[in-house]
Protein backbone atom coordinates (compact mmCIF):
# COMPACT_ATOMS: atom_id res chain seq x y z
CA UNK A 1 0.00 0.00 0.00
CA UNK A 2 1.13 3.55 -0.56
CA UNK A 3 2.86 5.22 2.35
CA UNK A 4 -0.14 7.62 2.36
CA UNK A 5 -2.61 4.80 3.10
CA UNK A 6 -0.15 3.24 5.53
CA UNK A 7 0.03 6.57 7.34
CA UNK A 8 -3.77 6.73 7.71
CA UNK A 9 -3.97 3.16 9.03
CA UNK A 10 -1.03 3.96 11.31
CA UNK A 11 -3.03 6.87 12.66
CA UNK A 12 -5.83 4.41 13.59
CA UNK A 13 -3.59 2.20 15.75
CA UNK A 14 -5.09 1.83 19.24
CA UNK A 15 -8.25 3.52 18.00
CA UNK A 16 -11.69 2.17 17.15
CA UNK A 17 -12.34 1.46 13.46
CA UNK A 18 -15.55 0.44 11.72
CA UNK A 19 -15.17 -2.25 9.05
CA UNK A 20 -17.66 -3.22 6.38
CA UNK A 21 -16.98 -6.62 4.84
CA UNK A 22 -17.84 -7.89 1.37
CA UNK A 23 -20.20 -10.41 3.00
CA UNK A 24 -22.36 -7.54 4.35
CA UNK A 25 -21.12 -7.92 7.95
CA UNK A 26 -20.16 -4.76 9.87
CA UNK A 27 -17.67 -5.04 12.70
CA UNK A 28 -16.13 -2.54 15.09
CA UNK A 29 -12.85 -2.99 16.90
CA UNK A 30 -9.63 -1.47 18.20
CA UNK A 31 -6.90 -1.62 15.52
CA UNK A 32 -3.69 -3.20 16.80
CA UNK A 33 -1.75 -4.00 13.60
CA UNK A 34 -2.05 -4.25 9.81
CA UNK A 35 0.06 -5.45 6.90
CA UNK A 36 0.40 -4.79 3.18
CA UNK A 37 -2.53 -7.16 2.36
CA UNK A 38 -4.77 -5.09 4.68
CA UNK A 39 -4.87 -8.04 7.08
CA UNK A 40 -5.89 -6.43 10.36
CA UNK A 41 -5.45 -7.33 14.02
CA UNK A 42 -8.31 -6.01 16.12
CA UNK A 43 -9.24 -6.24 19.80
CA UNK A 44 -12.57 -5.66 21.59
CA UNK A 45 -14.31 -6.64 18.34
CA UNK A 46 -18.07 -6.45 18.05
CA UNK A 47 -20.19 -7.69 15.17
CA UNK A 48 -22.73 -4.88 14.87
CA UNK A 49 -24.46 -6.06 11.69
CA UNK A 50 -27.67 -6.68 13.56
CA UNK A 51 -29.22 -4.97 16.53
CA UNK A 52 -27.98 -7.71 18.83
CA UNK A 53 -24.22 -7.03 19.09
CA UNK A 54 -21.99 -10.14 19.15
CA UNK A 55 -18.62 -9.96 20.92
CA UNK A 56 -15.66 -11.48 19.06
CA UNK A 57 -12.84 -10.22 21.32
CA UNK A 58 -9.45 -10.35 19.50
CA UNK A 59 -9.30 -11.33 15.83
CA UNK A 60 -7.05 -11.44 12.80
CA UNK A 61 -9.17 -10.36 9.81
CA UNK A 62 -7.99 -11.41 6.32
CA UNK A 63 -7.73 -8.29 4.18
CA UNK A 64 -9.40 -9.77 1.10
CA UNK A 65 -12.76 -9.76 2.93
CA UNK A 66 -12.73 -5.99 3.44
CA UNK A 67 -14.93 -3.47 1.63
CA UNK A 68 -14.15 -0.35 3.68
CA UNK A 69 -12.28 0.58 6.85
CA UNK A 70 -13.42 3.72 8.58
CA UNK A 71 -11.99 5.53 11.59
CA UNK A 72 -14.85 5.54 14.09
CA UNK A 73 -15.78 8.99 15.29
CA UNK A 74 -18.62 9.63 17.68
CA UNK B 1 -1.03 1.76 -12.73
CA UNK B 2 0.27 3.72 -15.69
CA UNK B 3 1.56 7.19 -14.97
CA UNK B 4 -1.34 8.42 -17.17
CA UNK B 5 -3.98 6.93 -14.84
CA UNK B 6 -1.96 8.06 -11.81
CA UNK B 7 -1.99 11.56 -13.22
CA UNK B 8 -5.79 11.57 -13.57
CA UNK B 9 -6.30 10.28 -10.02
CA UNK B 10 -3.74 12.84 -8.86
CA UNK B 11 -5.85 15.52 -10.50
CA UNK B 12 -8.83 14.37 -8.37
CA UNK B 13 -7.02 14.85 -5.04
CA UNK B 14 -9.07 17.14 -2.77
CA UNK B 15 -11.95 16.92 -5.23
CA UNK B 16 -15.24 15.04 -5.13
CA UNK B 17 -15.30 11.69 -6.97
CA UNK B 18 -18.23 9.37 -7.66
CA UNK B 19 -17.49 5.66 -7.20
CA UNK B 20 -19.55 2.73 -8.41
CA UNK B 21 -18.72 -0.53 -6.66
CA UNK B 22 -19.06 -4.08 -7.96
CA UNK B 23 -21.70 -4.68 -5.28
CA UNK B 24 -23.99 -2.04 -6.91
CA UNK B 25 -23.33 0.58 -4.23
CA UNK B 26 -22.62 4.16 -5.34
CA UNK B 27 -20.62 6.42 -3.06
CA UNK B 28 -19.42 10.00 -3.32
CA UNK B 29 -16.47 11.45 -1.45
CA UNK B 30 -13.47 13.74 -1.43
CA UNK B 31 -10.35 11.91 -2.64
CA UNK B 32 -7.42 12.22 -0.24
CA UNK B 33 -5.03 9.48 -1.38
CA UNK B 34 -4.73 6.36 -3.58
CA UNK B 35 -2.21 3.61 -4.21
CA UNK B 36 -1.26 1.22 -7.00
CA UNK B 37 -4.09 -1.23 -6.05
CA UNK B 38 -6.60 1.63 -6.47
CA UNK B 39 -7.16 1.58 -2.70
CA UNK B 40 -8.66 5.01 -2.03
CA UNK B 41 -8.83 7.28 1.00
CA UNK B 42 -11.95 9.42 0.94
CA UNK B 43 -13.46 12.01 3.30
CA UNK B 44 -17.01 13.38 3.57
CA UNK B 45 -18.23 10.09 2.08
CA UNK B 46 -21.90 9.57 1.31
CA UNK B 47 -23.54 6.34 0.22
CA UNK B 48 -25.95 7.64 -2.43
CA UNK B 49 -27.18 4.28 -3.71
CA UNK B 50 -30.66 4.95 -2.43
CA UNK B 51 -32.63 8.15 -2.08
CA UNK B 52 -31.84 8.29 1.61
CA UNK B 53 -28.15 9.32 1.69
CA UNK B 54 -26.03 7.63 4.39
CA UNK B 55 -22.99 9.47 5.75
CA UNK B 56 -19.81 7.42 6.10
CA UNK B 57 -17.35 10.25 6.88
CA UNK B 58 -13.75 9.13 6.25
CA UNK B 59 -13.02 5.73 4.74
CA UNK B 60 -10.33 3.56 3.21
CA UNK B 61 -11.91 1.74 0.26
CA UNK B 62 -10.21 -1.47 -0.96
CA UNK B 63 -9.52 -1.11 -4.67
CA UNK B 64 -10.73 -4.57 -5.64
CA UNK B 65 -14.34 -3.53 -4.92
CA UNK B 66 -14.29 -0.74 -7.51
CA UNK B 67 -16.11 -0.77 -10.84
CA UNK B 68 -15.57 2.87 -11.88
CA UNK B 69 -14.20 6.09 -10.41
CA UNK B 70 -15.54 9.28 -11.88
CA UNK B 71 -14.56 12.89 -11.23
CA UNK B 72 -17.77 14.49 -10.02
CA UNK B 73 -18.80 17.51 -12.03
CA UNK B 74 -21.95 19.44 -11.36
CA UNK C 1 0.06 -6.93 -22.19
CA UNK C 2 1.86 -7.78 -25.40
CA UNK C 3 3.08 -4.89 -27.48
CA UNK C 4 0.60 -6.10 -30.14
CA UNK C 5 -2.40 -5.55 -27.85
CA UNK C 6 -0.86 -2.31 -26.58
CA UNK C 7 -0.59 -1.15 -30.17
CA UNK C 8 -4.29 -1.83 -30.85
CA UNK C 9 -5.39 0.00 -27.68
CA UNK C 10 -2.98 2.80 -28.63
CA UNK C 11 -4.74 3.04 -31.97
CA UNK C 12 -8.04 3.60 -30.13
CA UNK C 13 -6.79 6.64 -28.18
CA UNK C 14 -9.12 9.60 -28.78
CA UNK C 15 -11.57 7.28 -30.50
CA UNK C 16 -14.87 5.81 -29.38
CA UNK C 17 -14.74 2.28 -27.95
CA UNK C 18 -17.56 -0.05 -26.95
CA UNK C 19 -17.00 -1.98 -23.72
CA UNK C 20 -18.92 -4.98 -22.47
CA UNK C 21 -18.45 -5.64 -18.76
CA UNK C 22 -18.65 -8.93 -16.87
CA UNK C 23 -21.71 -7.55 -15.06
CA UNK C 24 -23.64 -7.37 -18.38
CA UNK C 25 -23.35 -3.58 -18.65
CA UNK C 26 -22.39 -2.07 -22.02
CA UNK C 27 -20.73 1.33 -22.08
CA UNK C 28 -19.41 3.54 -24.87
CA UNK C 29 -16.76 6.22 -24.48
CA UNK C 30 -13.76 8.00 -25.86
CA UNK C 31 -10.52 6.24 -24.83
CA UNK C 32 -7.99 8.59 -23.21
CA UNK C 33 -5.52 6.23 -21.53
CA UNK C 34 -4.95 2.61 -20.47
CA UNK C 35 -2.43 0.64 -18.44
CA UNK C 36 -1.11 -2.92 -18.21
CA UNK C 37 -4.11 -4.05 -16.07
CA UNK C 38 -6.46 -2.83 -18.85
CA UNK C 39 -7.61 -0.04 -16.52
CA UNK C 40 -9.12 2.51 -18.92
CA UNK C 41 -9.70 6.24 -18.81
CA UNK C 42 -12.72 7.23 -20.86
CA UNK C 43 -14.52 10.52 -21.57
CA UNK C 44 -18.04 11.21 -22.88
CA UNK C 45 -19.10 7.85 -21.42
CA UNK C 46 -22.60 6.54 -21.95
CA UNK C 47 -24.13 3.46 -20.34
CA UNK C 48 -26.06 2.01 -23.29
CA UNK C 49 -27.15 -1.25 -21.63
CA UNK C 50 -30.77 -0.23 -21.77
CA UNK C 51 -32.70 1.87 -24.25
CA UNK C 52 -32.49 4.86 -21.97
CA UNK C 53 -28.85 5.98 -22.26
CA UNK C 54 -27.22 7.21 -19.02
CA UNK C 55 -24.38 9.75 -19.22
CA UNK C 56 -21.35 9.04 -17.04
CA UNK C 57 -18.98 11.72 -18.43
CA UNK C 58 -15.35 10.91 -17.54
CA UNK C 59 -14.48 7.66 -15.76
CA UNK C 60 -11.64 5.40 -14.74
CA UNK C 61 -12.76 1.82 -15.36
CA UNK C 62 -10.97 -0.97 -13.44
CA UNK C 63 -9.71 -3.48 -15.96
CA UNK C 64 -10.83 -6.57 -14.04
CA UNK C 65 -14.47 -5.74 -14.83
CA UNK C 66 -13.93 -5.96 -18.60
CA UNK C 67 -15.20 -8.71 -20.87
CA UNK C 68 -14.42 -7.13 -24.26
CA UNK C 69 -13.23 -3.81 -25.65
CA UNK C 70 -14.24 -3.04 -29.20
CA UNK C 71 -13.30 -0.14 -31.45
CA UNK C 72 -16.63 1.45 -32.33
CA UNK C 73 -17.26 1.71 -36.03
CA UNK C 74 -20.39 3.13 -37.48
CA UNK D 1 2.40 -19.55 -21.29
CA UNK D 2 4.70 -22.31 -22.40
CA UNK D 3 6.28 -21.94 -25.80
CA UNK D 4 4.23 -25.05 -26.81
CA UNK D 5 0.92 -23.27 -26.17
CA UNK D 6 2.31 -20.08 -27.69
CA UNK D 7 3.18 -22.07 -30.79
CA UNK D 8 -0.37 -23.41 -31.13
CA UNK D 9 -1.91 -19.95 -30.71
CA UNK D 10 0.68 -18.64 -33.16
CA UNK D 11 -0.52 -21.23 -35.65
CA UNK D 12 -4.06 -19.80 -35.32
CA UNK D 13 -3.06 -16.26 -36.29
CA UNK D 14 -5.18 -15.06 -39.23
CA UNK D 15 -7.39 -18.13 -38.82
CA UNK D 16 -10.86 -18.56 -37.37
CA UNK D 17 -11.04 -19.70 -33.75
CA UNK D 18 -14.05 -20.71 -31.67
CA UNK D 19 -14.05 -19.42 -28.09
CA UNK D 20 -16.21 -20.58 -25.21
CA UNK D 21 -16.37 -18.12 -22.34
CA UNK D 22 -16.93 -18.77 -18.65
CA UNK D 23 -20.22 -16.85 -18.95
CA UNK D 24 -21.59 -19.47 -21.39
CA UNK D 25 -21.18 -17.25 -24.45
CA UNK D 26 -19.65 -18.76 -27.61
CA UNK D 27 -17.91 -16.47 -30.07
CA UNK D 28 -16.11 -17.05 -33.35
CA UNK D 29 -13.50 -14.75 -34.87
CA UNK D 30 -10.27 -14.34 -36.74
CA UNK D 31 -7.29 -14.34 -34.34
CA UNK D 32 -5.00 -11.33 -34.84
CA UNK D 33 -2.88 -11.29 -31.68
CA UNK D 34 -2.58 -12.73 -28.16
CA UNK D 35 -0.45 -12.14 -25.06
CA UNK D 36 0.72 -14.09 -22.02
CA UNK D 37 -2.61 -13.49 -20.18
CA UNK D 38 -4.45 -15.09 -23.13
CA UNK D 39 -5.89 -11.66 -23.97
CA UNK D 40 -6.93 -12.05 -27.60
CA UNK D 41 -7.45 -9.64 -30.49
CA UNK D 42 -10.08 -10.92 -32.90
CA UNK D 43 -11.66 -9.56 -36.08
CA UNK D 44 -14.90 -10.51 -37.86
CA UNK D 45 -16.26 -11.63 -34.49
CA UNK D 46 -19.66 -13.25 -34.23
CA UNK D 47 -21.51 -14.15 -31.03
CA UNK D 48 -22.97 -17.54 -31.98
CA UNK D 49 -24.39 -18.47 -28.57
CA UNK D 50 -27.90 -18.36 -29.88
CA UNK D 51 -29.36 -19.11 -33.28
CA UNK D 52 -29.46 -15.45 -34.14
CA UNK D 53 -25.80 -14.54 -34.76
CA UNK D 54 -24.67 -11.10 -33.48
CA UNK D 55 -21.78 -9.33 -35.22
CA UNK D 56 -19.17 -7.76 -32.95
CA UNK D 57 -16.53 -6.88 -35.58
CA UNK D 58 -13.12 -6.32 -33.98
CA UNK D 59 -12.61 -6.94 -30.25
CA UNK D 60 -10.01 -7.28 -27.54
CA UNK D 61 -11.12 -10.16 -25.30
CA UNK D 62 -9.73 -10.26 -21.73
CA UNK D 63 -8.15 -13.66 -21.22
CA UNK D 64 -9.62 -14.29 -17.76
CA UNK D 65 -13.06 -14.75 -19.33
CA UNK D 66 -11.95 -17.70 -21.46
CA UNK D 67 -12.90 -21.33 -20.91
CA UNK D 68 -11.54 -22.82 -24.15
CA UNK D 69 -10.07 -21.65 -27.45
CA UNK D 70 -10.48 -23.98 -30.37
CA UNK D 71 -9.12 -23.78 -33.91
CA UNK D 72 -12.23 -23.79 -36.08
CA UNK D 73 -12.27 -26.55 -38.64
CA UNK D 74 -15.14 -27.15 -40.98
CA UNK E 1 2.38 -10.95 6.38
CA UNK E 2 3.83 -8.23 8.58
CA UNK E 3 6.03 -9.37 11.43
CA UNK E 4 3.33 -7.94 13.74
CA UNK E 5 0.67 -10.35 12.44
CA UNK E 6 3.24 -13.16 12.36
CA UNK E 7 3.98 -12.44 16.01
CA UNK E 8 0.29 -12.73 16.98
CA UNK E 9 -0.13 -16.01 15.09
CA UNK E 10 3.13 -17.20 16.66
CA UNK E 11 1.65 -16.45 20.06
CA UNK E 12 -1.27 -18.79 19.21
CA UNK E 13 0.95 -21.81 18.48
CA UNK E 14 -0.14 -24.76 20.63
CA UNK E 15 -3.22 -22.82 21.66
CA UNK E 16 -6.85 -23.11 20.64
CA UNK E 17 -8.03 -20.73 17.90
CA UNK E 18 -11.52 -20.12 16.55
CA UNK E 19 -11.76 -19.75 12.78
CA UNK E 20 -14.65 -18.38 10.76
CA UNK E 21 -14.53 -19.32 7.10
CA UNK E 22 -15.93 -17.47 4.08
CA UNK E 23 -18.35 -20.39 3.57
CA UNK E 24 -20.00 -19.67 6.96
CA UNK E 25 -18.38 -22.65 8.70
CA UNK E 26 -16.85 -22.11 12.16
CA UNK E 27 -14.07 -24.41 13.31
CA UNK E 28 -12.00 -24.61 16.46
CA UNK E 29 -8.59 -26.23 16.74
CA UNK E 30 -5.11 -26.17 18.18
CA UNK E 31 -2.74 -24.13 15.98
CA UNK E 32 0.42 -26.03 15.03
CA UNK E 33 1.84 -24.04 12.11
CA UNK E 34 1.05 -21.29 9.61
CA UNK E 35 2.67 -19.74 6.52
CA UNK E 36 2.63 -16.43 4.66
CA UNK E 37 -0.63 -17.36 2.81
CA UNK E 38 -2.32 -17.91 6.20
CA UNK E 39 -2.46 -21.64 5.47
CA UNK E 40 -2.89 -23.18 8.92
CA UNK E 41 -2.11 -26.57 10.45
CA UNK E 42 -4.54 -27.42 13.21
CA UNK E 43 -5.03 -30.42 15.49
CA UNK E 44 -8.04 -31.52 17.58
CA UNK E 45 -10.25 -29.68 15.09
CA UNK E 46 -13.99 -29.44 15.64
CA UNK E 47 -16.55 -28.05 13.24
CA UNK E 48 -18.79 -26.11 15.61
CA UNK E 49 -21.02 -24.44 13.00
CA UNK E 50 -24.02 -26.37 14.20
CA UNK E 51 -25.02 -27.63 17.61
CA UNK E 52 -23.81 -31.10 16.76
CA UNK E 53 -20.00 -30.78 16.84
CA UNK E 54 -18.11 -32.75 14.14
CA UNK E 55 -14.55 -33.91 14.84
CA UNK E 56 -12.02 -33.36 12.05
CA UNK E 57 -8.81 -34.24 13.96
CA UNK E 58 -5.73 -32.82 12.20
CA UNK E 59 -6.12 -30.60 9.13
CA UNK E 60 -4.29 -28.27 6.79
CA UNK E 61 -6.62 -25.34 6.09
CA UNK E 62 -5.99 -23.29 2.91
CA UNK E 63 -5.66 -19.65 3.91
CA UNK E 64 -7.85 -18.25 1.13
CA UNK E 65 -10.94 -19.73 2.82
CA UNK E 66 -10.44 -17.73 6.02
CA UNK E 67 -12.55 -14.80 7.16
CA UNK E 68 -11.19 -14.39 10.70
CA UNK E 69 -8.87 -16.18 13.09
CA UNK E 70 -9.45 -15.56 16.76
CA UNK E 71 -7.47 -16.70 19.79
CA UNK E 72 -10.00 -18.68 21.81
CA UNK E 73 -10.42 -17.44 25.36
CA UNK E 74 -12.89 -18.91 27.75
CA UNK F 1 4.28 -26.59 -10.68
CA UNK F 2 6.64 -28.95 -8.94
CA UNK F 3 8.76 -31.13 -11.16
CA UNK F 4 6.85 -34.10 -9.66
CA UNK F 5 3.52 -32.84 -11.03
CA UNK F 6 5.22 -31.83 -14.28
CA UNK F 7 6.52 -35.38 -14.55
CA UNK F 8 3.04 -36.88 -14.17
CA UNK F 9 1.54 -34.53 -16.77
CA UNK F 10 4.53 -35.30 -19.00
CA UNK F 11 3.68 -38.98 -18.68
CA UNK F 12 0.17 -38.21 -20.02
CA UNK F 13 1.40 -36.59 -23.24
CA UNK F 14 -0.21 -38.31 -26.24
CA UNK F 15 -2.52 -40.19 -23.90
CA UNK F 16 -6.18 -39.75 -23.07
CA UNK F 17 -6.97 -37.71 -19.94
CA UNK F 18 -10.30 -37.09 -18.23
CA UNK F 19 -10.85 -33.53 -17.00
CA UNK F 20 -13.47 -32.30 -14.57
CA UNK F 21 -14.03 -28.55 -14.70
CA UNK F 22 -15.20 -26.21 -11.95
CA UNK F 23 -18.36 -25.57 -14.02
CA UNK F 24 -19.37 -29.27 -13.69
CA UNK F 25 -18.42 -30.14 -17.27
CA UNK F 26 -16.43 -33.35 -17.88
CA UNK F 27 -14.26 -33.59 -20.98
CA UNK F 28 -11.98 -36.27 -22.36
CA UNK F 29 -9.11 -35.68 -24.76
CA UNK F 30 -5.61 -36.50 -25.85
CA UNK F 31 -3.05 -34.34 -24.01
CA UNK F 32 -0.64 -32.57 -26.37
CA UNK F 33 0.94 -29.88 -24.19
CA UNK F 34 0.64 -28.07 -20.85
CA UNK F 35 2.23 -25.08 -19.10
CA UNK F 36 2.87 -23.88 -15.55
CA UNK F 37 -0.71 -22.44 -15.28
CA UNK F 38 -2.08 -25.93 -16.10
CA UNK F 39 -3.29 -24.54 -19.44
CA UNK F 40 -3.74 -27.69 -21.54
CA UNK F 41 -3.72 -28.43 -25.26
CA UNK F 42 -5.96 -31.38 -26.08
CA UNK F 43 -6.99 -33.11 -29.31
CA UNK F 44 -9.92 -35.44 -30.08
CA UNK F 45 -11.82 -33.72 -27.26
CA UNK F 46 -15.25 -34.90 -26.25
CA UNK F 47 -17.61 -33.25 -23.79
CA UNK F 48 -18.97 -36.28 -21.95
CA UNK F 49 -20.96 -34.41 -19.28
CA UNK F 50 -24.20 -35.72 -20.63
CA UNK F 51 -25.11 -38.97 -22.32
CA UNK F 52 -24.98 -37.31 -25.71
CA UNK F 53 -21.25 -36.81 -26.34
CA UNK F 54 -20.27 -33.53 -28.06
CA UNK F 55 -17.09 -33.41 -30.17
CA UNK F 56 -14.84 -30.39 -29.66
CA UNK F 57 -11.79 -31.57 -31.66
CA UNK F 58 -8.66 -29.61 -30.69
CA UNK F 59 -8.79 -27.10 -27.83
CA UNK F 60 -6.68 -24.94 -25.55
CA UNK F 61 -8.20 -25.18 -22.07
CA UNK F 62 -7.40 -22.37 -19.59
CA UNK F 63 -5.99 -23.95 -16.45
CA UNK F 64 -8.01 -21.87 -13.99
CA UNK F 65 -11.17 -23.74 -15.03
CA UNK F 66 -9.81 -27.12 -13.94
CA UNK F 67 -10.92 -29.12 -10.91
CA UNK F 68 -9.09 -32.39 -11.61
CA UNK F 69 -7.08 -34.01 -14.39
CA UNK F 70 -7.06 -37.78 -14.47
CA UNK F 71 -5.13 -40.19 -16.67
CA UNK F 72 -7.85 -42.19 -18.39
CA UNK F 73 -7.55 -45.91 -17.90
CA UNK F 74 -10.00 -48.37 -19.27
CA UNK G 1 4.26 -22.78 1.61
CA UNK G 2 6.26 -22.69 4.82
CA UNK G 3 8.66 -25.53 5.39
CA UNK G 4 6.45 -26.50 8.37
CA UNK G 5 3.40 -27.11 6.15
CA UNK G 6 5.62 -28.76 3.53
CA UNK G 7 6.88 -31.10 6.25
CA UNK G 8 3.33 -32.12 7.23
CA UNK G 9 2.33 -32.78 3.61
CA UNK G 10 5.61 -34.65 3.17
CA UNK G 11 4.64 -36.85 6.09
CA UNK G 12 1.41 -37.74 4.26
CA UNK G 13 3.19 -39.05 1.14
CA UNK G 14 2.05 -42.62 0.40
CA UNK G 15 -0.65 -42.26 3.03
CA UNK G 16 -4.40 -41.74 2.76
CA UNK G 17 -5.63 -38.15 3.05
CA UNK G 18 -9.17 -36.81 3.23
CA UNK G 19 -9.83 -33.66 1.19
CA UNK G 20 -12.77 -31.31 1.43
CA UNK G 21 -13.21 -29.09 -1.60
CA UNK G 22 -14.76 -25.61 -1.84
CA UNK G 23 -17.52 -27.14 -4.00
CA UNK G 24 -18.67 -29.35 -1.07
CA UNK G 25 -17.17 -32.55 -2.52
CA UNK G 26 -15.19 -34.83 -0.19
CA UNK G 27 -12.56 -37.12 -1.67
CA UNK G 28 -10.15 -39.63 -0.18
CA UNK G 29 -6.92 -40.77 -1.79
CA UNK G 30 -3.30 -41.76 -1.42
CA UNK G 31 -1.02 -38.69 -1.61
CA UNK G 32 1.79 -39.09 -4.16
CA UNK G 33 3.06 -35.54 -4.69
CA UNK G 34 2.27 -31.88 -4.04
CA UNK G 35 3.63 -28.48 -5.05
CA UNK G 36 3.73 -24.92 -3.68
CA UNK G 37 0.19 -24.18 -5.04
CA UNK G 38 -1.13 -27.19 -3.05
CA UNK G 39 -1.75 -28.99 -6.34
CA UNK G 40 -1.93 -32.64 -5.27
CA UNK G 41 -1.33 -35.95 -7.03
CA UNK G 42 -3.48 -38.69 -5.55
CA UNK G 43 -4.01 -42.38 -6.34
CA UNK G 44 -6.84 -44.77 -5.38
CA UNK G 45 -9.13 -41.73 -5.18
CA UNK G 46 -12.71 -42.10 -4.06
CA UNK G 47 -15.40 -39.42 -4.11
CA UNK G 48 -17.13 -40.07 -0.78
CA UNK G 49 -19.45 -37.06 -0.80
CA UNK G 50 -22.48 -39.28 -1.04
CA UNK G 51 -23.20 -42.74 0.28
CA UNK G 52 -22.47 -44.26 -3.09
CA UNK G 53 -18.65 -44.02 -3.39
CA UNK G 54 -17.33 -43.14 -6.88
CA UNK G 55 -13.87 -44.33 -7.89
CA UNK G 56 -11.63 -41.78 -9.62
CA UNK G 57 -8.33 -43.72 -9.61
CA UNK G 58 -5.36 -41.39 -10.11
CA UNK G 59 -5.89 -37.61 -10.28
CA UNK G 60 -4.11 -34.27 -10.26
CA UNK G 61 -6.17 -31.93 -8.09
CA UNK G 62 -5.73 -28.17 -8.63
CA UNK G 63 -4.88 -26.62 -5.27
CA UNK G 64 -7.22 -23.63 -5.59
CA UNK G 65 -10.23 -25.96 -5.16
CA UNK G 66 -9.14 -27.13 -1.72
CA UNK G 67 -10.77 -26.20 1.58
CA UNK G 68 -8.95 -28.64 3.89
CA UNK G 69 -6.55 -31.56 3.64
CA UNK G 70 -6.62 -34.02 6.49
CA UNK G 71 -4.42 -37.02 7.22
CA UNK G 72 -6.88 -39.91 7.34
CA UNK G 73 -6.76 -41.86 10.55
CA UNK G 74 -9.03 -44.75 11.28
List, for residues D10-52, the tens digit of each pLDDT value: 999 999 999 999 999 999 999 999 998 999 999 999 999 999 9
All residues of chain F having their beta carbon less than 8 Å from the beta carbon of residue D16 are: none
- The reported pLDDT for the residue numbered G72 is 73
CB contact at 8 A, G54 and G45:
no
- The reported pLDDT for the residue numbered A56 is 86
Cβ separation C70–D62 shorter than 8 A: no
ipTM of this model?
Answer: 0.91
Strand ranges in chain A using DSSP code E only, listed in sequence order = 16-21, 26-34, 40-47, 54-61, 66-71
D69/chain F closest Cα distance in angstroms? 5
In chain A, which residue's Cα lies nearest the Cα of B32?
A: A4
B4's enclosing H/E stretch is helix B3-11
Cβ separation G5–E41 shorter than 8 A: yes
Cβ separation F8–G57 shorter than 8 A: no
- What average pLDDT does this structure show over E45-58? 91
F66/chain D closest Cα distance in angstroms? 10
Instruction: Kindly report, residue by residue over C56-66, the tens digit of the pLDDT.
Output: 889 999 999 99
Structural domains for chain C: 3-71 (2.30.30.100)
Q: How many CA atoms lie within 13 A of E43 on its CB side?
A: 8
Is the pair F, G in contact (3+ CB pairs within 8 Å)? Answer: yes
F35, B64, E39, G67 alpha-carbon torsion, rounded to 10°: -80
Which one has a higher pLDDT value, F66 or E74? F66
All residues of chain C having their beta carbon less than 8 Å from the beta carbon of residue D56 are: 68, 70
Among residues C65, C64, C70, which one has the least CA distance to residue C28? C70
B74/chain A closest Cα distance in angstroms? 26
Mutation to test the A interface, candidates B10, B33, B44, B63, most A Cβ within 10 Å: B33
| Whole-number Å distance between alpha carbons of B41 and B31 | 6
Per-residue pLDDT of chain F (74 residues; tens, 9 = 90+): 567 888 999 999 999 999 999 999 999 999 999 998 999 999 999 999 999 988 888 999 999 999 999 987 65
| Whole-number Å distance between alpha carbons of B14 and B33 | 9
Is residue C40 less than 8 Å (CB to CB) from chain D?
no
CB contact at 8 A, C30 and D58:
no
Nearest to B41 among A5, A22, A63 (CB): A5
Query: Residue B11 — φ and ψ, nearest 5°?
Result: -70, -15
- What average pLDDT does this structure show over A30-46? 95
Task: Indicate the DSSP class of residue E73.
Answer: -
CB contact at 8 A, B32 and A1:
no
pLDDT over 90 at B31, yes or no: yes
| Structure confidence at residue A38 as a pLDDT band (50, 70, 90) | very high
- The reported pLDDT for the residue numbered C72 is 73
CB contact at 8 A, G23 and G65:
yes
B31: how many CB neighbours lie within 10 A of its CB? 22
- The pTM score is 0.92
Amino acid sequence: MSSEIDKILDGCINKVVLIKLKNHTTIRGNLQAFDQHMNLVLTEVEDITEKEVKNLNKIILRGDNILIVSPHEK
